A and B are shown apart, each in its own frame.
Chain A
Amino acid sequence: MLHFSDLFQYTDVFLSGLLTTVELTLLTTILGIALGTCCAAIRQYGHTVSQRLVAVYVELIRNTPFIVQLFFIFFGLPAIGLKLTPWQASMIALTINLGAYSTEIIRAGLSSIPKGQIEAAKVLGMNFRQTLTRVIFTPAFEKIYPALTSQCIIVMLGSAVISQISVEDLTYAANLVQSRNFRAFESYLVTALLYLVLAIALRFIFNQIGKRLFAYREVR
C-alpha cells in the first residue's frame, strides 16, 4: 500500500533539497558553458598544442563516468593537498563535466560558420570583437542551442549522484526521508517526479531565453 501522506511533514526537507539542486544547476550551467565556449574557441582557432590538450580533456571526461570524476575530485585531490568541501567538489565536477560536453557541441556550431562570412566581416570593416560576437558566436550558438540546453538538463539529472558525497540535494533529501519513515517507494517516486518537473521547467525556461536571445531572426 502506498502512503503519500507520510511525506507531507517533510515538505521543507524536499524543498531545501530542490533549492540546492536548482542552485547548483544554475551555477554549473553558466560556468560550464563559459568553460565550454573557451575550450571550443581554442579547439577551433587555437594553437596545435593547446588544441591537443583540449581534445584530451574532452575525451577523458566524456569517456569516464561522472561518479568516478566526482570521487576523484572529492577523495583523490585532498591526497595531493587540495581540500574541498562536498559542495565545492560537486560544483567543480559538474562544471568540468558540462564543460567537456559543451566544448564538443559549441565546436560543432563554430565549424558550421563558413570561412567566407568571417572574411566578409573583415572586408566590411568590422573589428575583431564585432566579428566574434555578431558573425561567429551568435549564429553558432543559435544552431546548437537545443543540443546545448538538453545537455544542461542531462547534467542536472546527473547531479543526483552528488548526494553520495553528502551534498544535501534533492536525492539526499529523498534518502533522508526514506531513512526516517521507511517509505522508500513513495519518497523516491515523489523525488523522481520533482526531477521530472524540474527538467520540464528548465526546458521551458531555456526555450523562452532562446526566443529572446535569437529574436533578431524574427521579422520586425
Chain B
Amino acid sequence: MIQFSNYDIISNLLFATQWTILLSLAAFVGGTSVALALTAARLTRNSLVQKCVHLYVELFQGTPLLMQMFLCFFGLSMLGYEISAWSAAILSLTLFTSAFLVEIWRGCIDTLPKGQWEASRCLGLSFLQTLRFIILPQAIRVALAPTVGFSVQVVKGTALASIIGFVELTKVGTMLNNATFEPFKVFALVALIYFALCYPLSLYSKHLEKKFHVSR
C-alpha cells in the first residue's frame, strides 16, 4: 500500500493541470478557428449559409457538452472510426466553443451601426476592404472582453473530458480520491487549482470590459 503525503497529492494534481491547460488551449484555438470561418460565412449574406450556421449554433448550444463528448468518443468508435479520448475531447470542445463564439461575435458585429457598411460601400470599398479596415478593428475591441470571458467556460468544460477517460485534473482528482479516501481535501484542492486557472481570466475579462467601455 502506497501512502500519499500532501506533497504527493499536490504534485500529482499540478502534473495533471498541464493536461487541462493543454486541452483548454487546443480547444480554444480550434474553437476560434472554426468560429472565425463560420463568422466569415455568415457575413456573406447568403441566406442558406446563414441558416446552416444558425442550425449549427442551435444544435451545439442546445445539447449538453457531455452528450457531444459521448457521441464523439463512444458513438464514432461504434460507427467504426477509432478515436482516442484526447481527440474526442478536442473535437467536441472545438464544436462547443465555436458554437458559442460565433454567437458572441455575431452580437459584436451587429452592435456596429449599419450606416458604416453603407458608408464604406459609398466610398467605394469592396466587401473585404470594409471588413478589414472598418468592421474588424472596431468589432475586435468589442469582442475581446466576452471572448476572454468565454475562455473560462472552455477551461471548465475540459473537466468533462475526465468522464470519457482523458487523464486531466478532474480525473486525477477522482483517482487520488480512490487511492487516499480523502475526498474533502482532494476535491477542495482540485477546485482551488481550477479557480487559480479561471479567476485571472475572469479578472482580465472584466478589466478589458472596463477599458473598452471607457474609451468608447
Interface, chain A (partner B; CB < 8 A): 59-60, 62-69, 71-72, 75-80, 157-161, 164, 171, 174, 178, 182-185, 188-189, 191-193, 195-196, 199-200
Residue of B nearest to A158 (CB): B64
Task: Assess whether A64 is in contact with B156, with CB atoms less than 8 Å apart.
Answer: yes
> Can you add 9 more A-B contacts, CB < 8 Å, to A68-B173, A184-B75, A195-B64?
A60-B191, A71-B183, A71-B187, A77-B184, A157-B63, A161-B64, A174-B70, A184-B70, A196-B58
**In the assembled complex, how far is the CB of residue B173 from the closest CB belonging to chain A, in whole angstroms?**
7
Report the contact-size class of chain B (Cβ under 8 Å from the partner): 35 or more
Q: In the docked arrangement, what's the CA distance between A196 and B65, Å?
A: 12
Residues of A within 8 A of B128 (CB): none
Decide: A75 near B183, CB < 8 A? Known: A171-B64, A184-B75, A188-B67: yes
Q: Is B160 positioned at the interface, with any CB of A under 8 Å from its CB?
A: yes
Residue of B nearest to A65 (CB): B159
| Total inter-chain residue pairs, C-beta < 8 Å | 126
Q: Is B170 positioned at the interface, with any CB of A under 8 Å from its CB?
A: yes
Q: In the docked arrangement, what's the CA distance between A72 and B159, Å?
A: 14
Q: Is the interface of A mostly helix, strand, loop or mixed?
A: helix
Task: Assess whether B182 is in contact with A178, with CB atoms less than 8 Å apart.
Answer: no
Residues of A within 8 A of B66 (CB): 160-161, 171
Among A65, A79, A196, the residue within 8 A (CB) of B182 is A79
Among B170, B183, B188, B199, the residue within 8 A (CB) of A65 is B170
Residue of A nearest to B178 (CB): A75
Task: Assess whether A64 is in contact with B198, with CB atoms less than 8 Å apart.
Answer: yes
Task: Assess whether B67 is in contact with A80, with CB atoms less than 8 Å apart.
Answer: no
Residues of B within 8 A of A178 (CB): 74
Task: Assess whether B202 is in contact with A64, with CB atoms less than 8 Å apart.
Answer: no
| Residue from the set A63, A72, A76, A191 with the largest chain B CB neighbour count within 10 Å | A63
Task: Assess whether B159 is in contact with A60, with CB atoms less than 8 Å apart.
Answer: no
Residue of B nearest to A21 (CB): B64
Residue of B nearest to A163 (CB): B66
**In the assembled complex, how far is the CB of residue A59 from the closest CB belonging to chain B, in whole angstroms?**
7
Task: Assess whether B67 is in contact with A171, with CB atoms less than 8 Å apart.
Answer: yes
